[in-house]
């Protein structure tokens, strides 16, 4: 069986479906091809229309295959949504007879962590497992145990679980598109992996991915993920507010947001009038840019306040020495870093995918591609512990790209970096009523002033 070193990430986002084909290039990600299509089958990162999602996957995959001359068979797909949550599980194994920890010990450790979960009801299934701190005999704080001498290995693992039905919908879409699910990765884990530098991960950092339908928060301390949560408010809500505020179609509001939008009034100098297309042949109208900024700022502030509540609730706020990285398409709004600095009270930078090489690296040099780049990075990192089977094969020239043959690919436990202190199970973000009320109050005040 042909086994390639090529990895494929598939990000099925609320606004776009994106596929990246990449291979390892001396520790960097060499991007061989990328495909992107508009996504209309999801709401807040959850599939609501299978056929539309399948079409979008097919289109993005065909583009990536064409660009990379690679036939795609299996993908590492991102999973997100408020149904996903994480639980901690402890695990202990005896080291193999040689007394030196090897890869299969780590695999056994992860399998055992999965079976040790106590409270997983039948509605949920495991998406993937990330090892945390290892303790080899009495040596604690071990991040990478392979090669260490010892008799027993203990520690905890961060187990990502999600609702079976929602995962099945994603799986179904991928299979209907003629592909196999090689692995699934929680999207905040992927985005974090793509944009963080190793030093930040060690110092303590929060990665906030502001997507179209969801905002994802992942906290890394001492080199490993400690906490993650999904917020059901994101950049598309900003667009909807603009549409409501200026009384325009959503597409027009999106254009206005991208062209004139700013996350903070403090960056707007002299006011100007913006011309906005009328609906269905109605005359164009003008709207003050300062008012547009007030609308946008209110919603961006809500998103960041919700993120701050999560960070505080996690108990890790004080440990974020490297501050926050804001990524995802929502971070492209000018002034997002300024506003985030003010609301979160942390050092901020905007996160672009790191460690990318290859001729088309510029095409993925955008916060919108953080998740998909993290998905390929995660696959490369985990190939040590997981048999991905055959993900891809070269297309024989001049043969045109055709529907991929389905080749079964095993899914299983995955490993990531390791942390220090095991923490507690964590809740999934709900509708966050407190901050939600605040933004409505702010907008009401604004409308009253108009
Ligand atoms: N240049 C820009 N300026 C401001 N906003 C932008 C810009 N480009 C994209 N966006 C916004 O980013 C959002 C899409 O971000 P992204 O591609 O990360 O979302 P997604 O992955 O499809 O969704 P999700 O992760 O929530 O499922 C949209 O709301 C869009 O308006
Ligand atoms: Mg996304």
- Does 292 lie in the same domain as 253? yes
Instruction: Give pLDDT, residue 176.
Output: 96
- Does 145 lie in the same domain as 166? no
| Banded pLDDT at 280 (limits 50, 70, 90) | confident
pLDDT at 31 over 80: yes
Could you read off the pLDDT of 401-431 as tens digits, one per residue?
A: 443 332 222 222 232 233 334 333 333 333 3
- Please give the tally of structural domains in the chain: 3
- Does 250 lie in the same domain as 101? no
Could you read off the pLDDT of 138-165 as tens digits, one per residue?
A: 998 888 899 999 999 999 899 999 999 9
Instruction: Give pLDDT, residue 389.
Output: 52
- Whether 242 is in the pocket of ligand 1, judged by its Cβ within 6 Å, is no
Q: Is residue 439 domain-resident?
A: yes
Could you read off the pLDDT of 218-261 as tens digits, one per residue?
A: 999 988 889 999 999 999 999 999 999 999 999 999 999 999 99
- The protein residue with its alpha carbon nearest to ligand 1, atom 28, reads 212
CATH number at residue 91: 3.30.1490
- For 402, counting Cβ atoms within 10 Å of its Cβ (0-12 exposed, 13-18 middle, 19+ buried), the class is exposed
pLDDT at 432 over 70: no
Higher pLDDT pick, 311 / 410: 311
User: With contact defined as beta carbons under 8 Å apart, do 240 and 302 qualify?
Assistant: no
Could you read off the pLDDT of 85-104 as tens digits, one per residue?
A: 888 898 999 999 999 999 99
- The protein residue with its alpha carbon nearest to ligand 1, atom 25, reads 211
Among residues 136, 159, 182, which one ends one of the domains? 159
| Banded pLDDT at 384 (limits 50, 70, 90) | low
Among residues 132, 159, 186, which one ends one of the domains? 159
Can you tell me the mean pLDDT for 163-192? 95
- The protein residue with its alpha carbon nearest to ligand 1, atom 9, reads 329
Q: Residue 159 corresponds to which tokens in the numbers above? A: 């187990």
Percent of the chain at pLDDT exceeding 70: 84
- Whether 350 is in the pocket of ligand 1, judged by its Cβ within 6 Å, is no
Ligand 1: which of 330, 364, 371 to mutate, most ligand atoms within 8 Å of CB? 330
Q: Is residue 422 domain-resident?
A: no
Instruction: Give pLDDT, residue 382.
Output: 74
| Banded pLDDT at 131 (limits 50, 70, 90) | confident
- Does 141 lie in the same domain as 98? yes
Which range of residues forms the domain containing residue 347?
197-353+429-450
Q: Is residue 424 domain-resident?
A: no
Can you tell me the mean pLDDT for 286-313? 96
Q: Is residue 115 domain-resident?
A: yes
Could you read off the pLDDT of 111-125 as tens digits, one per residue?
A: 999 988 877 888 999
| Banded pLDDT at 391 (limits 50, 70, 90) | low
| Banded pLDDT at 46 (limits 50, 70, 90) | confident
CATH number at residue 413: 3.30.420.40
Can you tell me the mean pLDDT for 361-375? 94
pLDDT at 446 over 60: no
Instruction: Give pLDDT, residue 415.
Output: 29
pLDDT at 447 over 80: no
Among 160, 182, 157, 186, CA closest to 171: 182
Higher pLDDT pick, 272 / 437: 272
How would you classify residue 200: left for phi > 0, otherwise alpha for psi between -120 and 50, otherwise beta? alpha
| Banded pLDDT at 266 (limits 50, 70, 90) | confident
Q: Is residue 260 domain-resident?
A: yes
Cα–ligand 2 centroid distance for 41 (angstroms): 14
Cα–ligand 2 centroid distance for 124 (angstroms): 22
pLDDT at 3 over 70: no
- Does 360 lie in the same domain as 345? no
- Does 180 lie in the same domain as 303? no
- Does 260 lie in the same domain as 189? no
Q: Compute and round to an integer the Cα radius of gyration of the chain.
A: 22
Q: Is residue 381 domain-resident?
A: yes
| Banded pLDDT at 210 (limits 50, 70, 90) | very high
Q: Is residue 407 domain-resident?
A: yes
Q: What does the buried/exposed string (b/e) look like for 321-351 if buried means 16 or more CB atoms within 10 Å of the residue's CB? A: ebbbbbbbbbbbbebbbebbbebbebebbeb
Cα–ligand 2 centroid distance for 216 (angstroms): 8
- Does 207 lie in the same domain as 318? yes
- Whether 305 is in the pocket of ligand 1, judged by its Cβ within 6 Å, is no
- Does 297 lie in the same domain as 209? yes
- Whether 254 is in the pocket of ligand 1, judged by its Cβ within 6 Å, is yes
d(CA 339, CA 325): 13
Q: Is residue 423 domain-resident?
A: no
d(CA 161, CA 76): 16
The Cβ of residue 116 has, within 10 Å, a number of other Cβ atoms equal to: 14
Can you tell me the mean pLDDT for 129-140? 90
Residue position matching structure tokens 């960041």: 304
- Does 27 lie in the same domain as 116? no
Instruction: Give pLDDT, residue 386.
Output: 53
**Average pLDDT of every residue of the chain:** 85
User: With contact defined as beta carbons under 8 Å apart, do 219 and 226 qualify?
Assistant: yes
pLDDT at 83 over 70: yes
pLDDT at 365 over 50: yes
Could you read off the pLDDT of 51-75 as tens digits, one per residue?
A: 999 999 999 999 999 999 999 999 9
- Does 267 lie in the same domain as 249? yes
């Amino acid at each position: 069986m042909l086994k390639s070193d090529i990895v494929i990430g598939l990000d099925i986002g609320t606004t776009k479906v994106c596929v990246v084909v990449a291979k390892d290039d001396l520790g960097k990600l060499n991007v061989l091809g990328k495909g992107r299509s508009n996504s209309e089958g999801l709401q807040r990162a959850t599939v609501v229309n299978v056929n539309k999602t399948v079409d979008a996957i097919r289109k993005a995959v065909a583009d990536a295959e064409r660009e990379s001359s690679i036939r795609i068979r299996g993908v590492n797909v991102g999973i997100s949504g408020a149904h996903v949550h994480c639980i901690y599980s402890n695990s202990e194994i005896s080291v193999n007879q040689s007394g030196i920890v090897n890869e299969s010990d780590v695999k056994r450790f992860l399998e055992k962590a999965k079976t040790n979960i106590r409270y997983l009801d039948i509605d949920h299934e495991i998406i993937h497992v990330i090892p945390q701190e290892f303790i080899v005999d009495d040596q604690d704080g071990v991040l990478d145990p392979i090669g260490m001498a010892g008799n027993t290995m203990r520690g905890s693992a961060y187990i990502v679980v999600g609702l079976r039905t929602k995962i099945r919908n994603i799986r179904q879409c991928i299979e209907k598109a003629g592909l196999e699910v090689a692995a699934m990765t929680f999207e905040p884990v992927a985005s974090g992996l793509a944009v963080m530098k190793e030093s930040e991960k060690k110092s303590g950092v929060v990665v906030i991915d502001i997507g179209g339908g969801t905002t994802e928060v992942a906290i890394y301390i001492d080199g490993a993920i400690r906490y993650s949560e999904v917020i059901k408010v994101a950049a598309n809500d900003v667009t909807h507010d603009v549409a409501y505020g200026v009384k325009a179609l959503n597409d027009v509001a999106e254009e206005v947001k991208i062209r004139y939008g700013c996350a903070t009034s403090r960056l707007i100098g002299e006011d100007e009038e913006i011309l906005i297309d009328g609906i269905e042949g109605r005359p164009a109208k003008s709207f003050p840019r300062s008012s547009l900024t007030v609308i946008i700022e209110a919603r961006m502030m809500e998103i960041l306040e919700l993120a701050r509540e999560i960070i505080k609730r996690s108990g890790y706020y004080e440990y974020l020495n490297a501050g926050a990285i804001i990524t995802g398409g929502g971070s492209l709004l000018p002034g997002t870093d300024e506003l985030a600095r003010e609301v979160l009270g942390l050092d901020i930078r905007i996160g672009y995918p790191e460690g990318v090489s290859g001729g088309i690296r510029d095409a993925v040099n955008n916060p919108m591609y953080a998740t998909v780049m993290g998905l390929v990075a995660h696959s490369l990192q985990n190939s040590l512990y997981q048999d991905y089977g055959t993900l891809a094969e070269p297309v024989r020239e001049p043969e045109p790209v055709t529907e991929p043959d389905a080749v079964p690919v095993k899914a299983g436990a995955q490993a990531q970096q390791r942390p220090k202190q095991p923490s507690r199970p964590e809740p999934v973000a709900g509708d966050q009523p407190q901050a939600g009320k605040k933004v409505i109050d702010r907008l009401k005040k604004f409308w009253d002033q108009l």
